[in-house]
Amino acid sequence: MITTPPQVPPPTPKEPKCGSVKGKADPNDSRRRFHFLIEQPTGHERFASHSDDGISIWITPYKRDTGAKQESRQIMSFYGTKMAYPRDESVRFADHPGFETTNDYLVTIEFINVIYTGTADMDGLTLYEYLLPFDIEEVISDQISGNECNKLPTPYYRNAGGTGGPNNPMLMATRTGRVANLAVKMNVAAAVSSKIFVGVREVGSTTILGSTVSIPSPGKTLLTFTANTGHKIYEVVAGYDANANSALENSEVARVFEKTPKKDSSGGAVTTNLGNLDKIIIVEQGQYVSSKNWLFGGGNTPLTDYAGDILEAFAKGSTTVTDATTTTVGIVVTSTHPSLTHQVGAKWNATCQDTTHRFDFANGTEPSDDFEASNALKTIIDTVIQENIAALITHGAGKPGWPVLTLPNFSKPNDFKISESADIGVNELHLAFGSVTITGTLQVSFRVLNPTTIEVGTINIGGSFDDLYDFDYWSGSNAQSGSMVQAGHASLSTAANPSGKIFYTRLNYDTGWRALGKNFIK
Amino acid sequence: MLRTWFTIPLACFVIASIQASEPPITVADLAHLTGYPAGKLKVKDETASANEKAARKKKPECLSHHVYSSEDGTFATVSVAIGKKGTLLTPELDVKAKEILEKAALTPDAPVKLRALSLGPGVQGYGGLGMAGGGGSMDRSVVSLSNHDRDIQITILFGENALTPLAGADAYQQSIVTSEGVNAIIEKCLTVVSSNIVASTEKPPTVPSLLPQRTAPATPSSDQTPMANDSTLASTPVPQSPAVGVERRASVWPWVVGAILALIVIGALVLKRRA
């Protein structure tokens, strides 16, 4: 007798994400034989079995309505160092007496440690073809609780120029000592979540440093573990607790977290250097202190000026800097600030905001004087005059003497690393400010020499630029030290020395009238 | 005939210009040392601009300052400055560095990247003169060639963001962001540049050919091979560049200029007589 299958809607068919394991009942033996087509898994080097090299298939029938399970049985196993894919295997339930395989039951099919769940329609002809894998959806830094500001995946992988992001691998620090905290969002069926464990290991290591049972998303699986010393790179993994010891073992790992698209900021495919994709750099307290102490002295470069002073202020958490004429406090900074590379260096609230301060360098201070003598400003003056030469000629045509015209406000991007590369010693402007957008107003005193040429006698230019003071872990080993202090700010700094806090800087400039003596041609 | 009279002085002038801006280490050599594609590297003579800045800051000027960079952010900018002894490794810097190293010796737990450098007899200085800031970071080493009245400074600059990935330069890009990698590159550069200086100052001055020359790889003298076991260095072509021998150029080029002027005068006279 053919019975009507229970009206349980099957999961939405979708392409399996973890390889492909499909089952079909054999039309010639629909009740008792299933075929499994096992395709090459993606995201795994191989299917690792309990004994490292091979596949084992376990089936656990459980009641559709109550979830009550029967005993799990290993019904098949294959061993060998190199498995060939795809594999077409079949199993006869008749060979395993005692299994309940009626329509009241679903089956949990375990391939190695990967759990695939499907409706096993025992009286029909097909086993549910699209099998539902569990997956790690998000990994969130839980360095300080109550926010989801520092997390993976990121919108893209590596930075192809520009400023800020991506924070991948994600930089974070321990809460205290070497104790690190992560929050993981798991896509896992509630029925099997108690057997799925989430863990973390150092990249390249087989030691699971900590694990915990998964909680289906939108809940968070909170993972606490002891990080290794220094600033190592870690990965989040998950798998089926096959030996039921309530801990994830390396041999049980079936999933390694990887969600970020393999593309760069311009959308181009990234095919190399994918080893750090969706990994986590964790800075422990000893490393934080060591890096901070190095920064205290302005790195190891003696005789630096304001760049060293600002660095020391960052390392000490000081709100005063030599040359900074004022400090403005209470300025909001958000974790999504476009030039913030790593979402660390602040104690983010639930909306990913914190307040910080800004060092203002007034006109006449050393940074301002340096800027006024910089190639950057020379280039801006030339560029702005050239952009407005038509207006200047119109304004000055027929006028005697040296007429003055105030040109429209300008806004120009500049990278001090490039514009001031001719500095013999420490390029203070570059180290202190980096890439900024310079705004200002230019007044020009000039005369028209002919319908296409003007002579600019003097100029008067003033304005400002702002910057966010933060570090990129990947921008040289010295910047790495800065980034690690920044990473530790939220949890490892003290109230007396809130080291590593990101802050703003603002440089004001006003040259007054000064000679230029240059011709410009339309 | 007329064309010849103008071509020769023009050729001399062009060659003189090229010689005057020849960098202390060739792009090809730097590319070889770093493992970065030579075709993407460019070098710029920033001596005049650097000295202008130094003068404004009342700091010693240098003899040459060259900047090696790429246009696409895939290379950490390398600057090579050469000055008279004491102008780059200043007495003040020397005192401060010694103080830091002495303090570090007393407190082994204190992290210090600064280290004394000895690249052979008469080539001493400091490495690990690192610095960072919100705008980027730098690694700097400076040595004095005590027997040649020269200081050499190599600086590697990083922007505020990581290098833009470049296929084929993976090894370079992974190495340069580590202390070990950047130190190794700087020391190799220092060795090549110091060898070039030694070669140019010890070689008897000769009137240079009017044609550009590139000599066969020079073997560093025995007292200038502190890293002789480094196969990369051993195979590095070392041009006998006169670029750093500024004083030598000063003694030779007046003769060349004189010769050019003489040719022009003779040419003018011949032309006048024909007319």
The secondary structure of A219-250, three-state, reads: CCEEEEEECCCCEEEEEEEEEECCCCCCCCCH
Question: Shortest CA distance to A119 belongs to which of A8, A251, A224?
Answer: A8
Query: Quick one: pLDDT band at residue A17, thresholds 50, 70, 90?
Result: very low
DSSP notation for A435-471: EEEEEEEEEEEEEEEETTEEEEEEEEEEEEEEEEE--
Q: Nearest residue on chain B to A301, judged by CA atoms?
A: B129
Report the mean per-residue pLDDT for chain B. 75
In B, minimum Cα distance to A500 occurs at B134
pLDDT at residue A359 greater than cutoff 90:
yes
Q: Write out residues 86-125 of B within 8 Å (CB-CB) of A.
A: 88, 92-93, 96-97, 99-100, 110-114
List the domains of chain A with CATH numbers: 20-133 (2.60.40), 135-282 (2.60.40), 284-522 (no CATH)
Are the CB atoms for B40 and B75 separated by under 8 Å? Answer: yes
CB contact (8 A) between residue A300 and residue B129: yes
The torsion angles phi and psi of B42, rounded to 5 degrees, stand at -135, 155
Q: Examine the pLDDT at A372 and tell me if it is beyond 80.
A: yes
The pLDDT of residue A167 is above 60: yes
Distance (Å) of CA B159 to CA A108, A438, A481 = 53, 17, 15
With an 8 Å Cβ cutoff, are B170 and A430 in contact? no
Distance from chain centroid for Cα A494: 26
Distances (CA, A) of B129 to A100, A316, B116, B142, B164: 73, 21, 10, 8, 25
Q: Is the pLDDT of residue B275 over 70?
A: no
| Residue B172, φ and ψ in degrees, nearest 5 | -60, -50
Helical segments of A33-78, H only: none
User: Given A163, A424, A432, which is nearest B65 (Cβ)?
Assistant: A424
Nearest-angstrom CA–CA distance, A167 and A282: 13
Closest listed residue to residue A339, CA positions, set A235, A245, A469: A469
pLDDT tens digits, one per residue of B195-210? 999 888 765 544 444 4
In order, the DSSP letters of chain B are: -HHHHHHHHHHHHHHHHHHHT--SS-HHHHHHHHT--GGG-EEEE-HHHHHHHHHHTT----SEEEEEE-SSS-S-EEEEEEEETTSSS-HHHHHHHHHHHHHHHH-TTS----EEEE-STTEEEEE---EEETTEEEEEEEEEETTTTEEEEEEEEE-SSPPPP-TT-HHHHHHHTSHHHHHHHHHHHHHHHHHHHHHHHHSPP-PPPSS---PPPPPPPGGG-TTTT-HHHHT-------TT-HHHHHHHHHHHHHHHHHHHHHHHHHHHHH-
Which percentage of chain A shows pLDDT scores above 90?
59
For residues B201 and B4, the model is more confident at B201
Contact criterion met (CB below 8 Å) for A417 and B136:
yes
> Which residue from A292, A287, A258, A289 is spatially nearest to A275, judged by alpha carbons?
A258
**Contact between residue A367 and residue A373 where contact means Cβ atoms under 8 Å apart:** no
Average pLDDT score over residue span A116-135:
43
Helix (H, G, I), strand (E, B) or coil at A88: strand
- The answer to whether A207 touches A253, Cβ cutoff 8 Å, is no
Q: Tell me if ipTM is over 0.85.
A: no
B173: left (phi over 0), alpha (psi -120 to 50) or beta: alpha
Nearest CA in chain A to B139: A478
Length of chain A as a residue count: 522
Please report the pLDDT score of residue B201 as a whole number.
74
Residue with the bigger pLDDT between B34 and A43: it is B34
Residue whose structure tokens are 């195979």? B235
pLDDT for res B245: 32
The per-residue pLDDT for A98 is 64
Q: Which residues of A touch B159 (CB under 8 A)?
A: 415, 417, 434-435, 475
Q: How confident is the model at residue B106 (pLDDT cuts 50, 70, 90)?
A: confident
- If one counts every other C-beta atom within 10 angstroms of the C-beta of residue A410, the result is 18
Q: How far is A51 from chain B (nearest CA, A)?
A: 35
Q: How far apart are CA A213 and CA A180, in angstroms?
A: 17
Q: What is the pLDDT of residue B243?
A: 35
- Check CB contact under 8 Å for B161 and A423: no
Q: Label residue B135 exposed, middle or buried (CB < 10 Å: 0-12, 13-18, 19+).
A: buried
Q: CB B59 to CB A424 under 8 A?
A: yes
Q: Do A416 and B49 touch (CB under 8 A)?
A: no
Q: How close is the nearest chain A Cα to the Cα of B150, in Å?
A: 15
pLDDT tens string A78-108: 554 445 556 666 666 666 666 655 555 555 5
The per-residue pLDDT for A88 is 64
Please compute the mean of the pLDDT values over residues A305-332 and round it to a whole number: 92
CA-based nearest residue to B152, from B66, B237, B34, B241: B66
> Cα–Cα distances in Å, from B225 out to B84, B121, B190, B228, B255?
22, 9, 11, 5, 35
**A contact test, residue of B65, B131, B153, B180 with most A CBs within 10 A:** B131
Quote the tokens at residue B2: 């007329």
pLDDT digits over A24-65, tens only? 444 454 444 555 555 544 433 333 333 344 456 666 666 667
The single-letter DSSP state of residue A491 is H
Set of chain B residues whose Cβ sits within 8 Å of the Cβ of A302? 93, 96-97, 99-100, 129
User: Is the pLDDT confidence value at A159 over 70?
Assistant: no
Beta bridge partners of A186: A136, A216
Question: What would the mean pLDDT of B228-247 be, rounded to a whole number?
Answer: 34
* Ranges A219-233, A384-398, B159-173: which has the least confidence: B159-173
**Would you call B136 and A417 a contact, using CB atoms and an 8 Å cutoff?**
yes
Task: Report, as an integer, the average pLDDT of A474-487.
Answer: 95
pLDDT reported for residue A34: 56
Residue B228, min C-alpha distance to chain A (Å): 27
Question: Is it the case that residue B232 has pLDDT exceeding 60?
Answer: no
Among the partner residues B99, B110, B158, nearest to A479 by beta-carbon distance:
B158
Separation in Å, CA of A175 to nearest CA in chain B: 23
The model's pLDDT over B247-260, given as tens digits with 9 standing for 90+, comes to 333 344 545 556 66
Whether A244 has a pLDDT exceeding 90, the answer reads no
